[in-house]
Structure 1
Amino acid sequence: MVQIRRNILRASFLSGLVLFLFGCSSYNDMIASYYKQISAGNYAEAVKELDKNKLLQKPRNKLLFLMEKGKASHLSGDFETSNQYFNEADQLLENGMGGAMDAVVGTLVNPMTQRYKGEDFEKFMIHYYKALNYVYLNKTEDAIVEARRITLQSQEQGDKFNDKDNRYSKDAFSLMLQGLIYEHDGDVNNAFIAYRNSVEVYLKSKDQTYYGIKMPEALKRDVLRMADYNGFTAELSRFEDLFSMKYSRTQVPEGGELIFFWENGMAPIKQQEELFFSLIKGSNGDLFFTNLGGTIVIPFYHEYSNSNFSLNGVESLRATYPKYVARSPYYSSATLSNGEQTISFEKAEDINELAFKTLDQRFMKEMGKVLTRLAVKKSAEYVLRQSAKGSGKDGKNNSLLEGLGVGMQLYSLLSEKADTRNWQSLPANISYTRIPLQKGSNTITLKLKSASGADETKTIEITGTGKLQFYNYSTLR
């Protein structure tokens, strides 16, 4: 019996050691070689790193793999292949992620072992890249379909929360993009509706600022212009009053206009944070968790418990939770010139801000689930240890049950791991501007300025066709 107990303890220790060593590495650490290549602009090498990365080949990480492949293919200019990956990612999301078994795995081990379901803003960004891919492939009808799906995504997202909740339920940038695509197609009525919907998101938020983004002046001009094109005089007057702007009709440039998206920096990474809580019974008998300082109070989620749950043995709990760590972009500002005028960019989407705030919004609910899961595990450990006392031969402790109890305790401690996965090749933020084109050849110059004051320029050639065109440029540093 003594030997059996030793073997159990040895096995438990080795299993725990493996889990501990695995747990020390964040998702970012485990795919660092891919991000090194993509941030350096070596897109072909980045794709190779993706294909040979064993972690991303696992079924639970398929969505991440598809989004990264789609992004890498987009950056390399292979728009057809890019949309093949993004369409597969879209289909994966539509079919539903997870299920009962996936939830069980997450409960018994940790959230990192579950299927990655994507952050809400990541799902909107799939539409952004897909729509641009279709525009670049001259598949306008497909781009329009993608634009319409932005509305459906917004409705699905909105259904998740009550109106009273100040949650990320619509993406103002995606709605603005939708308007631009409709305008590109000459559908001025739907363009106006989309621009108006984007504006309304800002108007309903505090100080007309939505997740770190002040309502762009360009968006104000767009909704005024589309109201005028459609002959919506009442709407035009309403928005003129709201914006304190007087609209003046101007002639469309002969060569059309270019919408230039500047994708700067890289999205924040997730790291693991450790928090300590105690399970306490309130005066009315309800259970709740509180941290050491008593600044956080989280209810006990009974649906994750069972009839055998006991407060005995549940004292302090070590919980892990992801935290975002921002990466400062190398470039701090940029301007765009067509040779006659130089125009500044306006920030339209702040992935950094979205990431931090949306994670904070769900902290209480998700931490409640984590803590309840840990409490249930601790309760089970206690039951095993108590069962071992005096249940062996001659009233001695049962070595097998005692060893299992110790092994379960070690496993619970070392298997606890926060989910540090996210779509990390997204930009930190997206800025945009609209610049007029002349008929025929145009030389457009992007001037970038780093935080240290160093300048860098990129020149692109655009043929003015009289229509609205798109171009996006990434500085993933």
Structure 2
Amino acid sequence: MAHIRRNIFKASFFLGVMLFLFGCSSYNDMIASYYKQISAGNYAEAVKELDKNKLLQKPRNKLLFLMEKGKASHLAGDYESSNQYFNEADQLLENGIGGAMDAVVGTLVNPMTQSYKGEDFEKFMIHYYKALNYVYLNKTEDAIVEARRISLQSQQQGDKFNDKDSRYSKDAFSLMLQGLIYESDRDVNNAFIAYRNAVEVYLKSENQTYYGTKMPDELKRDVLRTAYLNGFTSELGRFEGLFGMKYESKAAPEGGELVFFWENGLAPVKQQEEFFFSLVKGSSGDLFFTNLGGSIIIPFNYGYSDGNFNLNGVESLRATYPKYVARAPYYNSATLSNGAQTVSFEKAEDINELAFKTLSQRFMKEMGKVLTRLAVKKSAEYVLRQSSKGSGKDGKDNSLLEGLGFGMQLYSLLSEKADTRNWQSLPANISYTRIPLQKGNNTITLSLKSASGTEESKTIEITGTGRLQFYNYSTLR
């Protein structure tokens, strides 16, 4: 029996080493070649890297693959293909991702082995890119449909939380975008409703700042203007009082206006963070997890255990959880000029802030699941090792059971891995501005400045048609 025990231990050890080596790599490390091409602006090469990346080809990473493929195609100017991928991603989300077996795999191994279901703000960003794609393809009706779906997404998101005002249940930027799309279609009634909804999100937030983004002055002007155009005098007066602004009607520019979105930097990446907890019994007999300093206290979820749970087998637990690491953008300011007027940008969406805060909000709930799962595993290991004692021939220890117990212990320790996946080609933040256009040809200049003082510029040609137009530009480095 001794040789059986040795063989089981060896097999467990080598399996553990393999899991450990795999576990040392984050998702970002494993697809670094793709992000390198995206940052360098080599979008065609980035698409090729996606197609040959084995990790992203796995079924559990299908949503990530579709979102990255949609974004890379959008950046390359292939808007039709981009929306094919985003529509497939949308359908995947609507049908539901994962299931009972997916949850079992996550419990037995780690969350990284489960199907990726997307961060909530990532789902809103799908609508942003889809809407722009439709606008650029002159498919106005499809862009309007996408704008309407933003409200449905907000409703679905809000249904997940009881404390909707304090959780990320609506996306103010998406509601603003919705208003802009309606306005571009000259639907000022729906535009006003969307702008008002965006304003209300800010008004309910502390200091009128929603996840790192202060209410833009441009949004204030938009809601005032559309209230006036609709003849909503009471609403106009209300917002004038709230903003401390007096609306003054003026003629629209002959060539219309350009709404310019500047997508700057890259979204933060996820890395693994380790925590050490103990399972202790409180004065009332309830079990809870606590870290070394006692600053984190999480109740034990009895629903994950069964009658065989043994507290003696759980002394300390090593748990992993993802943490975001921000990437400093190369550029830190920009202006836009039409030759006669220069305007500044206002931040519209802070994806960095959204990522950090939404992950922090669900820490206690998700860490509770992680710790309970680990405690149940440890209890099972303990029961298996205890069963081996005196269960062999002549009352001797059962080497097979003991070896399995140690093997299970090593596997549990080294297979534990945080889910470090996320849509990493999103920008760190999105800023926007409006600039008037003259009828016919317009030369628009974007001036960029880096933290070191380096200045660069990009010039685009826009034909003024008398309507509201859109343009987005990415500086993903």
Residue type of the alignment partner of 2:367? M
1:223-372 equivalences under 5 Å are 223-372=223-372
Matched with 1:392 is: 392
Q: Which residue of 2 aligns with 1:196?
A: 196
Pairing of 1:32-181 with structure 2 (within 5 A)? 32-163=32-163, 166-181=166-181
* Shift in CA distance, 94/164, structure 1 to aligned 2, threshold 3 Å: closer
Letter of the structure 2 residue corresponding to residue 291 of structure 1: N
For residue 440 of structure 2, what is the aligned residue in structure 1? 440
User: Structure 1: how far apart are the matches of 2:335 and 2:125?
Assistant: 24
| Secondary structure at 1:283 match in 2 | coil
Asked if 1:422 is matched to 2:422, the reply is: yes
Distance in 2, matches of 1:455 and 1:218, equals 26
**Alpha-carbon distance in 1 for matches of 2:407, 2:166:** 44
Report Cα offsets for 1:173-211 as digits up to 9, x if no partner. 000000000000010000000000000000000110000
Query: In the TM superposition, what is the alpha-carbon distance from 1:163 to its structure 2 partner?
Result: 3.4
| Alpha-carbon distance change, 383 to 165 in structure 1, aligned in 2, over 3 angstroms | farther
Look up the SS of the partner of 2:414 in the other structure. Answer: helix
Partner residue in 1 for 2:472: 472
Aligned partner of residue 443 in structure 1, secondary structure: strand
- Secondary structure of the corresponding residue to residue 329 of structure 1: coil
Q: Distance in 1 between matches of 2:97 and 2:229?
A: 43
Q: CA deviation at 1:16?
A: 0.5
Supply the distance in 2 between the matched residues of 1:426 and 1:180 (Cα, whole angstroms): 21
1:418 match: secondary structure: coil
Task: State the shift of 1:225 in Å.
Answer: 0.2
Residue 237 of structure 2 aligns with an amino acid whose one-letter code is: S
Give the TM-score, by structure 2 length.
Answer: 1.00
Query: Could you say what secondary structure the match of 1:117 adopts?
Result: coil
Q: Tell me the CA shift for residue 312 of structure 1.
A: 1.1
- For 1:209 and 1:48, the matched residues in 2 are separated by 40
Q: For residues 57 and 265 of structure 2, what CA distance do their matches in structure 1 show? A: 26
**Aligned amino acid, residue 285 of structure 1:** G
Aligned-partner Cα distance in 1 for 2:72–2:89: 14
**CA shift for structure 1 position 164:** 6.2
Distance 1:409 1:141 in 2: 58
How far the C-alpha of 1:165 sits from its partner, in A, is 5.9
Output the amino acid matched with 1:299. Answer: P
Matched, 1:31 2:31: yes
Deviation at 1:284, TM superposition (A): 1.3
Q: Distance in 1 between matches of 2:463 and 2:304?
A: 61
Question: Which amino acid counterpart does residue 399 of structure 1 have in structure 2?
Answer: S
- What corresponds to 1:208 in structure 2? 208
Q: Which amino acid aligns with 2:415?
A: S
The offset of 1:357, in angstroms, is 0.1
CA contact (8 A) 2:158 2:164 kept: no
1:35 maps to a residue whose letter is Y
Tell me how far apart the structure 2 counterparts of residues 136 and 255 of structure 1 sit (CA, whole Å). 18
Q: Which moved more, 1:412-421 or 1:280-289?
A: 280-289
- What is the TM-score of this pair, normalised by structure 1? 1.00
Distance 1:167 1:407 in 2: 42
CA contact (8 A) 2:165 2:204 kept: no
**Structure 1 residues 53 and 100: CA distance shift in structure 2, 3 A:** same
Matched, 1:183 2:174: no
Query: Structure 2: where are the runs of 5+ without partners?
Result: none
CA offsets 1:408-451 (integer angstroms, 9 cap, x no match): 00000000000000000000000000000000000000000000
How many angstroms apart in 1 are the aligned matches of 2:37 and 2:5? 49
**SS of structure 1 residue aligned to 2:311:** coil
Aligned length: 477
Q: Deviations over 1:25-84 (max 9, x none)?
A: 000000000000011000010000000000000000000000000000000000000000
- Secondary structure of the 1:97 match is coil
Letter in 2 for 1:418: A
Cα contact 2:211–2:353 (8 A) shared by 1: yes
Identity %: 87
Query: Which residue identity does 2:73 align to in structure 1?
Result: S
Aligned to 1:410: 410
Indicate the residue corresponding to 1:376 in structure 2: 376
Q: Secondary structure at the match of 1:191?
A: helix
Q: What is the SS of the residue equivalent to 2:138?
A: coil
Pairwise CA distance, 1:2: 1.2
CA drift of 1:283 comes to: 1.3
Which amino acid letter does the alignment assign opposite residue 61 of structure 2?
N
* Distance in structure 2 (CA, Å) of the matches to 1:290 and 1:81: 49
2:8 maps to: 8
**Separation in structure 2 between the aligned mates of residue 216 and residue 406 of structure 1, nearest angstrom:** 59
Aligned partners of 2:21 and 2:463: how far apart in 1? Answer: 55
Structure 1 unaligned segments of length 5 or more: list them. none
Distance in 2 of aligned mates of 1:115 and 1:397: 41
Q: Which 4+ residue blocks in structure 1 deviate beyond 6 angstroms?
A: none
Counterpart-to-counterpart distance in 2, 1:340 and 1:83: 36
Q: Decide whether the 8 Å contact of 2:257 with 2:434 is kept in 1.
A: yes
Distance change in 2, residues 1:354/1:461 (3 Å)? same
Please give the alpha-carbon distance, in whole angstroms, between the structure 1 residues aligned to 2:199 and 2:372: 41
| Counterpart secondary structure, 1:434 | strand
